Amino acid sequence: MANFMGQGTVPVSQASSAATSLQTTSQLPPKIENYNFMTDVDFKYKMSHSQRGVAVIINNEEFDPDLEITDRPGSRKDEQSLIETFYFLGFEEVLVRRNLNAEPMVSFLKEVAKRDFTNSDCVMVAVLSHGTAGALYACDKTMGYNRVFAPFRDSPTLKGKPKIFIMQAERGDDTDPMMQIQFDAVPTAHNQPKALVISKESDVFVAHSTADGYLVWRDNQLGSWFIQSFCQVMTKDGQRLEIHELMARVNQMVAYTCTLRALQPQYNKAKQCPYFTSTLTKSLVFSQK
């Protein structure tokens, strides 16, 4: 973000009621002053490199018994749907890893991020696992989300390019009120780390399966509400619509059309709504190559 703290300016938190009358000698950066002279091309990510890029899927289905959390049947269906979706979007290579402990998981992500992405449009990473408030589960312990994001954020050849993360994991144990189904639930009292704030740097898009604090839902045979909705929207409209509009449609599909039918009263008629954050600086369309 540009630094506007020039001579004669004060932080908003220090400004008095007379702030509107302050004199300033600072100037807006040229990029802002020249906004009216910029074209639509300046606000679209270049998606015409020789390669679309690499897509990554980490699917954690089985966990250390000491964690006392359930396995994730049905996640293999999500994995296969994502593979098909990523190839449809034009990714030349889809890397799949299953059941990784925390350190091997981070090492794998770092190795991928070290690649030369000069001739690539973007990178996309999907993690399917259990989660809790502020963190997700590797197969042996919890880990902060930033350990997934950081390697790609720091990649020099991804600078200024979209880095998209798809996170299928619960973020708490609250239910969103309103098939034998199994929910991705983890007792938050067990090994809960301090919540970590995700990177605020530009060109990052993170789609979570639910808002912070809530459970997510997954069918043992059909897969999860979020991933299946994501794949359906992307394979139908992913080559023509901008990613924020696509994710709004995913949100609507999950929030409006999915309702849990469960024998347990506390879960019956539960709902779910995905949640995304974006520091993208341009519009992103996976246009067909």
Residue 89: pLDDT over 70: yes
Residue 194: pLDDT over 50: no
Q: How sure is the predictor about 149, in pLDDT bands with cuts at 50, 70 and 90?
A: very high
Predicted local distance difference test score (pLDDT) of residue 235: 97
Convert the chain into a string of H (helix), E (strand) and C (coil): CCCCCCCCCCCHHHCCCCHHHCCCCCCCCHHHHCHHHCCHHHHECCCCCCEEEEEEEEECCCCCHHHCCCCCCCHHHHHHHHHHHHHHCCCCEEEEEECCCHHHHHHHHHHHHCCCCCCEEEEEEEEECCEECCEEECCCCEEECHHHHHHHHCCHHHCCCCEEEEEECCCCCECECCCCEEECCCCCCCCCCCCCCCCCCCCEEEEECCCCCECCEEECCCEEHHHHHHHHHHHHHCCCCCHHHHHHHHHHHHHHHCCCCCCCCCCCCCECCCEEEECCCCECCCCCC
Residue 95: pLDDT over 80: yes
Predicted local distance difference test score (pLDDT) of residue 276: 84
Q: What value does the mean pLDDT take over residues 130-158?
A: 93
Nearest Cα to 237, choosing from 227, 226, 248, 222? Answer: 248
Predicted local distance difference test score (pLDDT) of residue 31: 61
Q: What value does the mean pLDDT take over residues 196-223?
A: 65
Predicted local distance difference test score (pLDDT) of residue 66: 95
For residues 136 and 59, is the Cβ–Cβ distance under 8 A? Answer: no
Residue 6: pLDDT over 80: no
* Least-confidence region, from 118-127, 169-178, 195-204: 169-178
Q: How sure is the predictor about 212, in pLDDT bands with cuts at 50, 70 and 90?
A: low
pLDDT digits (tens, 9 = 90+) for 216-258: 454 566 678 889 999 999 999 999 999 999 999 998 888 766 4
Instruction: Give percent of the chain above pLDDT 70.
Output: 67
Predicted local distance difference test score (pLDDT) of residue 8: 42
Mean pLDDT of the chain: 79
pTM for the complete prediction?
Answer: 0.75
Phi, psi of 43 (to 5 degrees): -115, 25
- Best mean pLDDT range from 31-35, 106-110, 248-252: 106-110
Residue 12: pLDDT over 70: no
Strands laid side by side in the 223-224 sheet = 181-183, 217-219, 223-224
Residues in Cβ contact with 136 at an 8 Å cutoff, skipping those fewer than 6 apart: 127, 129, 130, 142, 143, 145, 148, 167, 169
In the chain, domain spans: 51-172+200-279
pLDDT digits (tens, 9 = 90+) for 35-59: 777 788 889 999 999 999 999 999 9
Range 51-172+200-279 classified under CATH 3.20.20.100:
no
* Least-confidence region, from 104-113, 139-148, 263-272, 274-283: 263-272
**CA distance to 95, 128, 195, 218, per residue, from 169 (Å):** 20, 6, 15, 10
Let me know if 46 is exposed, middle or buried by CB neighbors in 10 A (0-12, 13-18, 19+). Answer: exposed
